[in-house]
Chain A
Amino acid sequence: MAKLVALNNKQHQHLHIDTQLAEAEGADLHLVPVVLSEFMKLVVSYPIVFSKNGDTGEFMCSALMGLEEGENLFYEKGQWQSIYIPLQLARQPFFLGHDNQAVSADNSSSEQAQNLVMCINESHASVISQASTNTHSAPNHNETQEPLFNETGEATSYLQAQQNRLVQLLQGEQQTHDFIATLLDMQLITAIALEITLADGSSHKVNGLYSIDEEKLAQISDAQLILLKQKHYLSPIYTLIASTSHIYSLINKKNQRIEQGAKWFQAATL
């Protein structure tokens, strides 16, 4: 159960975060929510798609990590096999929350934004209190452990980076929401029908993924094109389209896993 509390340099001065355990949050996610401002980094590794939020049905942008629910083909042997980790995972175990006053007040959204404070999920597996690091941690484990505050109570560069990630996410969510609304309005989003035949001959249908309708994109009016340009959406649109071909590398990765599995079973049957 998540235990979210506002971060402060007294109560949390001696906490460390095991970044490897923090990132393990995404180990069994096949879709990770992403924001517009990280598209250029995502495109190096992942297919960027639209998917629907399970609770609200609303569209969101996601990096596709696997070909079925619970499968992350980029997470292997206890760590990420990828250059870039999406903000939504990299920022773990930190959140933006309202402080108590802000929540009780009947405030406008701008006030809400002002009242946001950095929170930590104290019960997250990556959170290590100093006492346990002193007694139990092996030296090699320390490499992935980051302190939050220095001796004088100032935020470490690690914590500052996490703050920046949270801010980028907050701004990115609004921007991504508008990006999707604009594309929906222009009817540029379309369902992808993915039917994949794997190395072992099994075929899979991947449902619930959407992308940009390139045919319709080629036919938008001049006025629509200008709007997309003014909103700076042309770059993310084409980045997203280009990223789709990474689906083939996902299939490759999946086939590799299957082959490894097959070897395992060959050995077992000898």
Chain B
Amino acid sequence: MSNSIKTVVVVGGGAAGWITAGRIAAQHNAKQGDIKVKLIESPNVPIIGVGEGTWPTMRNTLIQLGISETDFIRECDASFKQGAKFAKWVTGAEDDFYYHPLILPQGFTKGNIAPYWQMQKHQIGKSFSDAVCFQEALCEQGLAPKSIRTPEFSAIANYAYHLDAGKFAQLLQRQCTQVLGVEHILGDVINVKSAVNGDVAAVITQQQGSIEGDLFVDCSGFKSLLLGEHLGVPFKPCNDVLFIDNAIAVQVPYATDNAPIASHTISTGQNAGWIWDIGLQHRRGVGYVYSSHHSSEAAAMDALATYVGPQFKDLSVRHIPIQSGHRQQFWKNNVVAVGLAAGFLEPLEASALVLIELSAEMIAQQLPARREVMDIVAKRFNSTFLYRWDRIIDFLKLHYVLTQRTDSAFWQDNTDPASIPDSLNELMQLWRYHPPYDHDFTSNNEVFPAASYQYVLYGMGFESDLAPIQHTLTQTEFANTQFQLNQQNIAQVVAKLPSNRELLNKIREYGLQQL
């Protein structure tokens, strides 16, 4: 162990481990030996690998890691994701749905048209997301966010991905070890050697002996081997806010090779939670996350079977216990946790992979040069990510608090004021009179922008009392122009974009161009 930070040891080889190792290696030139990045992976512990939805940020992460989009799509069974569709969250009726797309409302940077939509929504006759954004139309028609002529990572409609997490980890591993200069060590960590100051001096592996390092990144999954077990950083559960504590998941094959692939995540409300439905190229990933206080496992299995249909009986079901919450801090001494070792939340808005990307980016960009300054970086990292976790928890809870469903205790309990964080409650109070907009979110570390709150709030049927601010609502003409522009955009993109399946097939055959 030296005073300069020269060796980074990543413990764990899932997406968290490889993304973090890769970002650090790329940023700090591990290939040239400026610093060393080692990743220790157990040959015996499988990765959890249920995180199959990303944010648009993943495009930048892939660029930073030097991975081509064509390779990524071909090797990770990946498909395009243009946001999320929430079905049966408001009333639970068959035709109840709304979208949280990946494109800002029309004209958002110039003005807030949300209150005008609210005032005219009966004349407009369209949901908020459909009236202000062209992406819902693309999703509803199963269209791709780009064409075969659009270069890699460029978009006609902003997009993220759905991916096979196991295959993704393999691609990341190859890029990290063959191109970015990450050393891959296969070994089970059986002991930890401490330094006098409480830092981790080395991890002892069964197969490869002692591995020393200056910074240790804990990507050991739910186990949280270094941060949780070794350094004893407590876990802060949030199951008083978010009730889900179990997942059952299946992989559903398509009926035919050319079955349509949804270009959005579908989240469908159930009695005691919700079912995710993610379309990859060769299969769907479907799972029910539920609250064991509100449903037995048998009832949950029944619900999932009903959703999937007759073929359910032939599929093998994975059971994954979930503990919602996060560590009280993420960086202590010379250990920083990324991924499940840092915490976990129900996968409602694909927050798992984006938190990994954000963590990896901050560690790579602010990697302390020497041990003396590491505690300062750690402090910043902790305050940044505590803020981000709290905001994500708020935003996930927002999906539940406005439900009108009274058909089960799960939904009713979710509207109990005691289960709503103060920070969210404050915003909800404010929005009773002030339509949500950018100025409500002033931190540099926001995860979800104001537009996301608008999509969920108005999707869930929220209304502000506009009477007290009526005198400020003078932009009717601007707003109407935006509604019209959106109509034009819908017509244009719908006419020129291929189906999601068609584009993915073409990418498999021809690849995307770099420019």
Known: A52-B149, A208-B149. A57 touches B515 (CB 8 A): no
A39 interface residue (CB < 8 Å to B): no
Known: A54-B149, A208-B149. A184 touches B506 (CB 8 A): no
B506 and A57 within 8 A (CB): yes
B515 and A58 within 8 A (CB): no
- What 1/0 mask marks residues of chain A from 119 to 131 whose CB sits below 8 Å from any chain B CB? 0000000000000
Give the distance to chain A from B363, nearest Cβ to Cβ, in Å. 31
Most buried by B among A54, A57, A189: A57
A56 interface residue (CB < 8 Å to B): yes
A57 and B514 within 8 A (CB): no
Chain A residues within an 8 Å CB radius of B510: 56-58
Known: A56-B510, A58-B510. A210 touches B148 (CB 8 A): no
In Å, the complex CA distance between A57 and B509 comes to: 11
Give the distance to chain A from B136, nearest Cβ to Cβ, in Å. 25
A194 interface residue (CB < 8 Å to B): no
Selected from A57, A59, A184, A190, the residue in CB contact (under 8 A) with B147 is A57
In Å, the complex CA distance between A124 and B147 comes to: 31
- What 1/0 mask marks residues of chain A from 3 to 40 whose CB sits below 8 Å from any chain B CB? 00000000000000000000000000000000000000
Give the distance to chain B from A256, nearest Cβ to Cβ, in Å. 30
B488 interface residue (CB < 8 Å to A): no
B425 interface residue (CB < 8 Å to A): no
Question: What are 16 A-B pairs with beta-carbon distances under 8 A?
Answer: A53-B149, A55-B148, A56-B509, A56-B510, A57-B149, A57-B150, A57-B511, A57-B512, A57-B513, A58-B513, A59-B513, A184-B513, A190-B515, A191-B515, A208-B149, A210-B515
In Å, the complex CA distance between A55 and B506 comes to: 8
Report which A residues bind B (CB closer than 8 A): 52-59, 184, 189-191, 208, 210
CB-CB nearest in chain A for B511: A57
Chain B residues within an 8 Å CB radius of A53: 149
In Å, the complex CA distance between A33 and B512 comes to: 20
Give the distance to chain B from A263, nearest Cβ to Cβ, in Å. 32
In Å, the complex CA distance between A52 and B506 comes to: 14
Give the distance to chain B from A59, nearest Cβ to Cβ, in Å. 7
CB-CB nearest in chain A for B509: A56
Chain A residues within an 8 Å CB radius of B511: 57
In Å, the complex CA distance between A190 and B151 comes to: 12
CB-CB nearest in chain A for B503: A57
In Å, the complex CA distance between A258 and B149 comes to: 31
Chain B residues within an 8 Å CB radius of A184: 513-514
Chain B residues within an 8 Å CB radius of A191: 515
CB-CB nearest in chain B for A208: B149
- What 1/0 mask marks residues of chain B from 251 to 266 whose CB sits below 8 Å from any chain A CB? 0000000000000000
Selected from B148, B150, B514, B515, the residue in CB contact (under 8 A) with A56 is B148
Chain A residues within an 8 Å CB radius of B509: 56
In Å, the complex CA distance between A77 and B150 comes to: 36
CB-CB nearest in chain A for B513: A57
A189 and B149 within 8 A (CB): no
Known: A54-B149, A210-B515. 6 other contacts (CB 8 A): A52-B148, A52-B513, A56-B510, A57-B506, A58-B510, A190-B515
Give the distance to chain A from B448, nearest Cβ to Cβ, in Å. 33
Most buried by A among B510, B511, B512, B513: B513
CB-CB nearest in chain A for B510: A56
In Å, the complex CA distance between A58 and B149 comes to: 7
CB-CB nearest in chain A for B514: A184
Most buried by B among A53, A56, A210: A56
Quick one: which of B232-267 are within 8 Å of A by CB?
none
In Å, the complex CA distance between A57 and B511 comes to: 8
Chain A residues within an 8 Å CB radius of B506: 55-57
Give the distance to chain A from B492, nearest Cβ to Cβ, in Å. 13
In Å, the complex CA distance between A57 and B147 comes to: 8
Chain A residues within an 8 Å CB radius of B515: 189-191, 210
In Å, the complex CA distance between A184 and B512 comes to: 13
